[in-house]
């Protein structure tokens, strides 16, 4: 019980510190916001490399190219922050191909000490997908922040995701009840799902009132979709960690684990909203007849 209380205390303190910092950096925008995203990306990639290394336990190109790939990811984010979107995505393609190759090549040593290599394409595919999982939303959130009305859009996403996380955690702890998916995440309950959804709806009402936007069906639907995507993202990372026999992606944030544990709900929401914004902008440029 004491451990549980200490963990809850650390979780609350971490949240109280992180949320105002995230809002402040989002408000500043520009290089301050981009630097924060780049720092988070670097830490996410470190956690990904550590998880892959623990899973494979082998001497391979991933270890040798670790820092090169991390720096390349940060460079791609920096390119996006200065508005060079084309070069940023070219860089992303190069990183993906490099990570696919690095993750596929397995280095072994024969008895005579000579290095021999073999290919494990599926391992490479898993690893390169993980790299995209980290870098793509980082690029997307910087692009969104730089667009017209970027600040309220990003703040809305943050608000929906964090209100969902807080609501589902608190309601699930208080009410308990039937487990959502015990084989993947034994602590998640259906009460928590509805609690997170209800909390996000309440916060969305406050947000639209603050922005002086009329509340309607579409606004509430957007809040519901963000909340559901956030919970699916949380469940997906729980599935991945269970496959890798990991409890947390790291231990950087007290009470939360690693950076990936903190942004797992945010990643699918960012990608979905960025895709919708991109489709809308393309539709403005190329009207559908």
Q: Where are the domains of the chain?
A: 31-146, 148-289
Residue 111 in this model has a pLDDT that exceeds 60: no
pTM: 0.86
- Among 175, 162, 172, 187, CA closest to 242: 187
Residue of higher predicted confidence among 119 and 13: 13
Residue 61 in this model has a pLDDT that exceeds 70: no
What mean pLDDT comes out for the span 122-141? 90
Calpha distance 45→284 (Å, rounded): 35
Residue 266 in this model has a pLDDT that exceeds 80: yes
Instruction: Write the pLDDT tens digit of every residue in 249-265.
Output: 777 776 667 888 888 89
Instruction: Write the pLDDT tens digit of every residue in 157-199.
Output: 999 999 998 888 888 888 877 888 888 888 888 888 999 999 9
Give the lowest-confidence range in 22-31, 36-45, 103-112: 103-112
- Among 161, 136, 158, 126, CA closest to 48: 126
| Phi (first) and psi of residue 167, to 5 degrees | -65, -45
Q: What percent of the chain has pLDDT over 70?
A: 84
Q: Name, in order, each residue with C-beta under 8 angstroms of 137's C-beta and a sequence gap of 6 or more.
A: 263, 266, 267, 270, 271, 274
- Among 236, 228, 133, CA closest to 185: 236
Q: In the prediction, which pLDDT does 179 show? A: 85
Q: In the prediction, which pLDDT does 3 show? A: 43
CA 18, 44, 231, 6 torsion: positive or negative?
negative
Q: Which tokens in the block code for residue 108?
A: 């072994």
For residues 234 and 267, is the Cβ–Cβ distance under 8 A?
A: no
Q: In the prediction, which pLDDT does 158 show? A: 93
Residue 104 in this model has a pLDDT that exceeds 80: no
What mean pLDDT comes out for the span 26-36? 91
Residue of higher predicted confidence among 55 and 125: 125
Q: In the prediction, which pLDDT does 1 show? A: 47
Residue of higher predicted confidence among 9 and 170: 170
Highest mean pLDDT among 60-64, 107-111, 209-213, 220-224: 220-224
Residue of higher predicted confidence among 121 and 109: 121
| Phi (first) and psi of residue 273, to 5 degrees | -65, -40
Residue of higher predicted confidence among 173 and 33: 33
For residues 223 and 179, is the Cβ–Cβ distance under 8 A?
A: no
What mean pLDDT comes out for the span 221-238? 91
Q: In the prediction, which pLDDT does 4 show? A: 45
Q: In the prediction, which pLDDT does 170 show? A: 86
Q: What percent of the chain has pLDDT over 90?
A: 33
| Banded pLDDT at 155 (limits 50, 70, 90) | very high
Residue 139 in this model has a pLDDT that exceeds 70: yes
Per the DSSP assignment, residues forming a β-bridge with 117 are 107
Sheet holding 59-60, edge to edge: 59-60, 105-109, 115-119
End-to-end alpha carbon distance in the chain: 63
Residue of higher predicted confidence among 12 and 286: 12
Calpha distance 157→267 (Å, rounded): 10
């Amino acid at each position: 019980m004491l451990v549980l209380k200490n963990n809850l205390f650390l979780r609350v303190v971490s949240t109280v510190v992180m949320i105002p910092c995230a809002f402040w950096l989002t408000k500043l925008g520009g290089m301050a916001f981009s630097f924060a995203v780049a720092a988070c990306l670097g830490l996410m990639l470190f956690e990904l490399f550590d998880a892959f290394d623990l899973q494979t336990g082998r001497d391979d190109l991933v270890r040798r190219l670790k820092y090169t790939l991390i720096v390349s990811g940060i460079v791609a984010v920096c390119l996006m922050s200065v508005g060079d979107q084309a070069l940023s995505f070219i860089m992303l393609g190069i990183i993906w191909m490099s990570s696919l190759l690095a993750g596929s090549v397995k280095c072994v040593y024969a008895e005579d000490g000579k290095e021999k290599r073999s290919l494990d394409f599926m391992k490479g595919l898993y690893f390169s997908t993980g790299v995209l999982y980290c870098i793509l939303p980082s690029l997307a959130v910087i692009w969104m922040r730089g667009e017209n009305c970027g600040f309220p859009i990003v703040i809305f996403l943050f608000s929906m995701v964090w209100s969902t996380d807080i609501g589902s955690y608190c309601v699930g702890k208080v009410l308990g009840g039937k487990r959502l998916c015990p084989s993947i995440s034994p602590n998640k309950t259906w009460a928590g799902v509805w609690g997170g959804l209800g909390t996000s709806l309440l916060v969305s009402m406050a947000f639209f009132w603050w922005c002086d936007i009329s509340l309607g069906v579409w606004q509430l639907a957007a809040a519901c979709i963000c909340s559901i995507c956030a919970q699916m993202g949380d469940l997906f990372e729980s599935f991945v960690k269970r496959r890798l026999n990991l409890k947390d992606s790291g231990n950087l944030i007290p009470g939360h684990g690693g950076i990936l544990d903190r942004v797992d709900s945010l990643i699918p929401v960012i990608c979905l909203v960025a895709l919708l914004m991109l489709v809308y902008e393309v539709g403005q440029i190329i009207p559908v007849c």
